[in-house]
Structure 1
Amino acid sequence: MKKTKPKYNQIIEAAVEVIAENGYHGSQVSKIAKKAGVADGTIYLYFKNKEDILISVFEEKMGQFIERIIESIHDKQSASSKLLTLIEMHFRQLSENYHLAIVTQLELRQSNAALRLQINKVLKPYLAVMDDIVKEGMSEHIFRDNLNVRLVRQMMFGTLDEIVTNWVMKEGRYDLVSQAPVVHDLLTNGLTAKS
């Protein structure tokens, strides 16, 4: 299978760097090939075109991202601790790979409708993890039992996504992971003052 071959992974890693540094539109296949240390034609043994490379980058990296998060929350006892771990992992994984953060937060936004559909398909398992955490929190009675799970998940994902985008726009000049406890507190306790 192509995905297990070393050149495939070299191309994926090179694509992350090239797209982050040049933007999607300024990233010719030849630049990606050069960065990967392969001939231009070799790219087409693994990918149909540049769009396929971008989707594959997202599938590979997001797949690993989701696996690590699922693994990390697996042994957590409560929905609240699972949510905190998810937030920390989300921030940590992107803060540890600034090029990938640029690609996910900026370059994937400039995509066409077909590309967006494929991206949404890749994101579904991650959103399902969030749904499960919300449902678990409701059944544990630590979250309100009348929550609209889909809406809460959209708010959770949107919050994390916007915080990472802001961090990228500020060129990663502050510690993203240190914001996780505050974000967790806001998501679980809201804006209401404690009486």
Structure 2
Amino acid sequence: MKQNNRPKYKQIIDAAIIVIAENGYHQAQVSKIAKQARVADGTIYLYFKNKEDILVSLFREKMGSFIREMEKEIPSKQTASEKLLMLIEKHFTLLAANNKLAIVTQLELRQSSKQLRYRINEILKRYLDIVDDIISFGKQAGEFDRKLNSRLARQMIFGTIDETVTTWVMNEQKYNLIELAKEVHELLIWGFRKRLFET
């Protein structure tokens, strides 16, 4: 496979997002992706093994870029609350700016095979590591309850963000996703913060 820093690689990735979003993963033939990317069918196989590899690669490309941005920017925030708000806002902004990418990540990836989902989960691990770091920071700083179940908190953060985007996609993006960021943030922070009275 050729290096993924080549222009045609990104061209095919962007084409695949459009074709999969418009046709569904199972109906998105490689020939359709090639046509959208304006390359020969055979060119696809210089960069990807098969259609499954294209789907995993586009997720790795887009999520990887997002994760690198978060790893760079989140440390500049002083509190766990600020870090979490940035994560939510940036996540919503990424998908609100590209509704076809949102359709692929929220709907089409869910219909993939168990083996493919396993590969997707491997990519998500770095995202969840960022969430874990925010939770740990909040507990150490006294912002979050020290007895907070970190694993459950991580599931609540990711699950809430993910479901909010999925609902937005299912509702055909009829409302402003980014405007929900602060409300989602407040709901999560309310549940995590240090309890004033022990029961």
Q: Read off the aligned partner of 2:119 and give its amino acid letter.
A: Q
The residue type paired with residue 7 of structure 1 is K
One-letter amino acid of the counterpart of residue 54, structure 2: I
Do residues 55 (structure 1) and 77 (structure 2) align?
Answer: no
Q: Does 1:96 align with 2:97?
A: yes
Native 8 Å contact 2:85 2:181 kept in 1: yes
Aligned counterpart, 2:10? 9
Q: CA deviation at 1:123?
A: 0.3
1:135-194 Cα deviation digits (max 9, x unpaired): 0000011100011211110111000000000000111111101111111110011399x9
With normalisation by structure 1, the TM-score equals 0.96
User: Matched residue of 1:175: which SS?
Assistant: coil
1:153 aligns with 2:193: no
> Does residue 86 in structure 1 map to residue 82 in structure 2?
no
Instruction: Give TM-score scaled by structure 2 length.
Output: 0.94
Aligned position for 1:69:
70
Instruction: Using the TM superposition, name which of 18-27 and 61-70 deviates more.
Output: 61-70
Letter in 2 for 1:180: A
- Give the CA deviation at 1:71: 2.5
After alignment, is 42-51 or 63-72 more displaced?
A: 63-72
Paired position in structure 2 for 1:133: 134
Which residue does the alignment assign to 1:182? Answer: 183
Determine the C-alpha separation between the residues in 2 that align with 1:157 and 1:37.
36
| Cα pair distance change 1:191/1:136, threshold 3 Å | closer
**Aligned twin of 1:105:** 106
Measured after TM superposition, the shift of residue 132 of structure 1 is: 0.4
Percent of paired sites with the same residue = 60
Instruction: Report Cα offsets for 1:57-111 as digits up to 9, x if no partner.
Output: 1100110111122223121001110001101001111100101000000000011
Gaps of 5+ in 1: none
